[in-house]
Amino acid sequence: MAKSYMGLILAAQDTNDIMGLTKYRPIASIPFAGRYRIIDFSLTNLTRTGISNVGIVVPHNYVGSLRDHIRGGQFWDLNRKTGGIFLMHPTIDSEIGKSNVKNFRSNLEYLHKSKEKNVVLCSSHLIANIDLQSIIDSHEKSGRDLTIVYKKEGGDLKGYRGCTSIMLNENKEIEKFGVIVDSPEKANISLEIKIIRKDLLVDLLMSGVQNGLVGDLNKFIEHNVYKISTNLYEFTGYTKFIDSTKNYFRANKDMLKKEVREELLLGNGGISTKINDTPPAIYKPESKVSNSLIANGCIVKGSVKDSIIGRRVVIKKGATIENSVILQSCVIEEGVEIKNVIIDKNVTISRYQKVIGSEEFPLIIEKKSLLDG
């Protein structure tokens, strides 16, 4: 059934609240949980259902990191003659996160050439392990032209600030859309996953551009939802939008909870990612590690607590790391103290340095930095 569906991933999100990690890359290719990239979740969710044609709307700059990670799509079985993976570069509006409609308008040939009749639309910055086949089944059964996926969330909504909320009437039909602000109230959060007929999507894009409408494609579809027969699907699993430094830090820390880690990283057959051939981590006798994820290729001689450590990180004797996220290929020298910090790739922290942030506002050390007092 998924053979009549293609995937479209929106990977051109606003980076204003996560700029320390997006100086050289889009959100989609930020490393996550020691060995993955953010976009791995969207790619895996799509391809595990049998979808073999995936287009990715990329930002206008720093695409090299994303291209290097995705390559030919072989890690998601997308290196094929028919279908495969297609990067949709913006050609008109260069503003990141605002060019989706015009971008698709400039790449309509790709949509026309694709043989599939339906489109599964998703955003690359959503962390979730979703069985899309059940959503496709719901869409088929409903007979509607559009399916919108949402999640009921209650209590603290700070992690969803700026996300789209869906207000439903007593018949469980869409009444209106809103934007999440800090509120203790419950809300239906749009997960920015939609299934729509391809011909309908093309018609909407054509009419939208002709009328001068430019903006995020999800918002554009929501603006027209009252003209479209719509089905709703509720997802109940773990979700997190990586649209800020706080959410990135919290999502990584959530991976230290066994139940979340098993659902997100191992559920539904696991999450596929680019393969790196590295040996197992080495723990020296003097090392102390507790409640942490340590990726392959690491050499640990110091102390690590409540932290995520990426591939090929060297932690030397006497160094202490607590409540932090260290990305790949970093060197932490002797006697260094690190707490509440996110350290990007290829950073060296020289001996006896203290690098301390707060849990609410973790400190970010940018890629290829050298901290030498």
What's the rounded Cα separation, in Å, for the pair 242 and 239? 10
Per-position pLDDT tens, the chain of length 373: 567 999 999 988 888 889 889 988 999 999 999 999 999 999 999 999 999 999 998 877 678 889 999 999 999 999 988 889 998 876 544 444 444 565 666 677 888 889 999 999 999 999 999 999 999 999 999 999 999 999 998 877 888 888 899 999 988 889 999 888 876 578 999 999 999 999 999 888 877 666 655 567 888 888 889 899 999 999 999 999 999 999 999 999 999 999 999 999 999 999 999 998 899 999 999 999 999 999 999 999 999 999 999 999 999 999 999 999 999 999 999 999 999 999 999 999 999 999 999 998 899 999 888 777 6
Question: How many residues in total does the chain contain?
Answer: 373
| pLDDT at residue number 303 | 98
Res 220: pLDDT: 83
The pLDDT score that the predictor gives to residue 298 is: 97
Task: For tokens 């094929």, name the residue.
Answer: 80
* CATH architecture of the domain with range 2-269: Alpha-Beta Complex (3.90)
Main-chain phi, psi angles of 194, to 5 degrees: -140, 145
Where along the chain do its domains lie?
2-269, 282-371
One-letter amino acid of 164: T
Contact 298, 282 (CB under 8 A): yes
pTM of the model: 0.93
Strand (E) or helix (H) holding 221: helix 217-223
Task: Determine the residue type at 14.
Answer: D
Nearest CA-CA partner of 45 in 255, 250, 238: 238
Measure Cα distances from 172 to 57, 120, 169, 281 in Å.
32, 22, 5, 51
Domain 282-371 class in CATH: mainly beta
Per-residue pLDDT at 213: 59
d(CA 254, CA 257): 6
Candidates 26, 48, 35; CA nearest to 265 is 35
Cα 137 to Cα 2, 133, 134, 195, distances in angstroms? 9, 6, 5, 11
